[in-house]
Structures are given as C-alpha cells and as structure tokens.
C-alpha cells in the first residue's frame, strides 16, 4: 500500500520537473502563491507581451533592460514600479483594478507593452513613443536620451 503512494509521489515529481517553468509560474500566479519569475520566464513573458501588442521583441526586451535590468521589484525615485517601471496612476489605464497588481511581472509587462503601443500609435515613431513612455512628453531631453539607449540596445537583442 505504501509503495503505491511512493510511486504516485514520484510520478507527480517527475511531471512537475518536466513541466516548463512558465506553466509552474502561471500556476503559482493563479493559485495566488508567492512566485519569483526566473530570467527565462521573464523573457518568455516579454515575448508574449510584445507579440500581443505588435511590438518588436527586441525593443520590449531593451526597454525592460534599461528600465529595471529585469528586476520585477525595481522602484524608481519617482515611484515607477516593476519590470517595465509603470507609474501607479497608469494601472487603471491598463485595466488593472489597483496599482498593487503592478508587482506582478506579467501584468507589469503587459501594461508596459500596452502603453508603448498606445504611444507608438499616437506618435507614429518609436523614438517619440519611447521618449513619451519615459517622461510623459515628446520634448524632454532625458526621455530622448532614454529612447536612444533603448533603440541602440534593441539592436543587440
């Protein structure tokens, strides 16, 4: 009888180990368990968000690298949160019920991709869209430097 439980446990363990880590990550999110996404999971989520919003994957990956260095817990001096550095006021813009959802890397990435897509549609130019993403307006020297950095880095990814 106890051997049956051992075999069942080993089968469950083998299944868990063979499941892609993105499935484990999303399963934990659905179950509302604390989960720290790995770099592989983050990159897969970046690709999904970029594809969902019609962005080049390399651009979104470069944006994340510049914004947070792939740190889902990053906080800027002005209060932007998470991997894509979203200001809490923008949570509602992305359809999130509250800003606490910005700590979830998937929601944060999707929100960042949505905002970049909206800015790209409005301004028609990646440089301008990235400038606005960074500082909220087109004529902003800091935002222009940021846009140049993201665009340059996207060529490496």
- Residues acting as catalytic residues: 67
Separation of alpha carbons 157 and 138, rounded Å: 25
Terminal C-alpha separation, the chain:
54
R_g of the chain computed on alpha carbons: 19
User: How distant, in Å, are the alpha carbons of 2, 62, 80, 112, 138 from that of 122?
Assistant: 64, 21, 22, 15, 11
Question: What is the rounded distance in angstroms from the CA atom of residue 121 to the CA atom of residue 118?
Answer: 5
| Token digits of residue 71 | 């740190």
């Amino acid at each position: 009888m106890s051997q049956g439980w051992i075999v069942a446990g080993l089968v469950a363990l083998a299944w868990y180990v063979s499941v892609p880590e993105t499935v484990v990550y999303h399963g934990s999110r659905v179950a509302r368990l604390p989960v720290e996404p790995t770099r592989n999971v983050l990159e897969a989520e970046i690709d999904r968000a970029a594809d969902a919003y019609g962005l080049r994957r390399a651009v979104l990956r470069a944006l994340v690298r510049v914004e947070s260095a792939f740190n889902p817990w990053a906080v800027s001096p002005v209060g932007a949160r998470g991997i894509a550095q979203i200001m809490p006021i923008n949570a509602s813009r992305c359809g999130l019920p509250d800003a606490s959802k910005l700590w979830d890397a998937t929601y944060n990435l999707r929100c960042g991709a949505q905002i970049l897509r909206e800015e790209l549609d409005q301004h028609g130019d990646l440089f301008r869209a990235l400038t606005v993403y960074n500082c909220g307006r087109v004529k902003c020297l800091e935002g222009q430097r940021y846009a140049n950095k993201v665009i340059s880095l996207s060529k490496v990814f």
